[in-house]
């Protein structure tokens, strides 16, 4: 879900005595007890320690009595303090897994969420031409575009974002995974799109209400508002994307969008108004309305 259970109640410890004397891996892992506000405290601690020691999580379990050198312990202490302050693990480690890819992340855009994989999964199930052209609006790290491009080397994928730093990040991720069938553009939604028609448009746009109280809690506090909020009802960007997509789709082209769990009926109505048929909302793994898709009605 959008909001993790990491709460504002988490307080960093003022001193970390275990930084100054030799400690074992097992003792360092026990620090997970301090991450009282995290719903994944043990895993968080394992990830941070294996990152600081540059070893696999399996190594930590295999050698619990080893004493890491003091530099590694100091590095771990610094990472652990950031997590104590509530910073998301992905920002601390600098990457996040999405689909089959490890993606670099930064504070300029959203950390890809597991539920967004439903957009990718659904897109891959559609009956589309073999050499489809695909557009990902608001690509962030490039998650959706790169996942699709990695599965369908014959698809030509265009991805865009209006944040220059997100465009640079998505390009870095594209290059790291050597996905040559993706081009990444700097654009305010459709403004800089070339005059071609796509077989499929996808978007996970900002869809949180401006005043949603969750914005000041948990991991989401560290993510940019430009990737999250979209007007009083959270619908401004969905209205824009759904309202303008038809002009950029082939006859019978598909549109897939992610949205909030309470936005399904509004989004389906927007699809119908914009000329889409076969409109359907699908649930994520938590059985919450999460994506809506529709096919453009041929004229």
Ligand X SMILES: C[S@@+](CC[C@H](N)C(=O)[O-])C[C@H]1O[C@@H](n2cnc3c(N)ncnc32)[C@H](O)[C@@H]1O
Contact residues for ligand X, defined by CB under 6 A: 109-110, 112, 116, 138-141, 143-144, 160-163, 166, 188-189, 204-206, 226-227, 237
Of residues 60 and 103, the one with the C-beta less far from ligand X = 103
> Distance (Å, rounded) from C-alpha 123 to C-alpha 199?
11
CB of residue 260 vs ligand X: minimum separation in angstroms?
11
- Residue 129: strand, helix, or coil: coil
Of residues 163 and 295, the one with the C-beta less far from ligand X = 163
Of residues 141 and 281, the one with the C-beta less far from ligand X = 141
Of residues 45 and 230, the one with the C-beta less far from ligand X = 230
Burial 10-42 (b: 16+ CB within 10 A, else e): beeeeebebeeeebebeebbebbebbebbeebe
CB of residue 126 vs ligand X: minimum separation in angstroms?
18
CB of residue 178 vs ligand X: minimum separation in angstroms?
20
Q: Answer for the pair 45, 84: CB distance below 8 angstroms, yes or no.
A: no
The closest residue (CB) to ligand X is 138
- Enumerate the β-bridge partners of residue 198: 249
Of residues 132 and 173, the one with the C-beta less far from ligand X = 173
Q: What is the DSSP string of 231-254?
A: STTS-HHHHHHHHHHGGGEEEEEE
CB of residue 8 vs ligand X: minimum separation in angstroms?
22
Which residues, other chains included, contact 62 with Cβ-Cβ below 8 Å and sequence gap of 6+?
none
Residue 94: φ, ψ to 5°: 90, 5
Helix (H) or strand (E) holding 178: none
CB of residue 26 vs ligand X: minimum separation in angstroms?
36
């Amino acid at each position: 879900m959008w909001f993790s259970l990491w709460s504002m109640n988490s307080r960093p410890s003022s001193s970390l005595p275990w930084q100054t004397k030799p400690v074992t891996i097992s003792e360092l892992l026990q620090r997970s007890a301090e991450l009282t506000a995290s719903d994944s405290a043990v895993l968080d601690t394992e990830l941070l320690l294996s990152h600081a020691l540059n070893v696999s999580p399996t190594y930590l379990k295999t050698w619990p009595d080893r004493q890491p050198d003091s530099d590694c312990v100091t590095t771990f202490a610094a990472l652990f303090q950031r997590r104590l302050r509530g910073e998301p693990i992905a920002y601390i480690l600098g990457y996040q897994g999405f689909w089959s890819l490890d993606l670099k992340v930064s504070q300029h855009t959203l950390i890809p969420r597991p539920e967004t994989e439903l957009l990718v999964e659904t897109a891959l199930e559609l009956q589309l031409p073999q050499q489809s052209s695909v557009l990902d609006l608001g690509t962030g790290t490039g998650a959706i575009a790169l996942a699709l491009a990695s599965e369908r080397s014959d698809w030509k994928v265009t991805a865009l974002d209006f944040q220059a730093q997100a465009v640079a990040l998505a390009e870095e991720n594209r290059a790291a995974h050597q996905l040559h069938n993706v081009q990444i553009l700097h654009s305010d939604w459709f403004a800089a799109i070339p005059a071609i028609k796509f077989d499929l448009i996808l978007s996970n746009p900002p869809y949180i209400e401006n005043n949603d109280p969750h914005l000041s809690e948990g991991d989401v506090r560290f993510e940019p508002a430009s990737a999250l909020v979209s007007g009083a009802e959270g619908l401004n960007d969905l209205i824009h994307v759904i309202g303008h997509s038809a002009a950029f789709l082939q006859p019978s082209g598909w549109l897939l969008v992610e949205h909030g769990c309470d936005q399904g009926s509004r989004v389906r109505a927007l699809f119908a108004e914009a000329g889409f048929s076969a409109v359907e909302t699908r649930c994520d793994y938590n059985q919450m309305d999460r994506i809506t898709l529709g096919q453009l009605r041929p004229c």
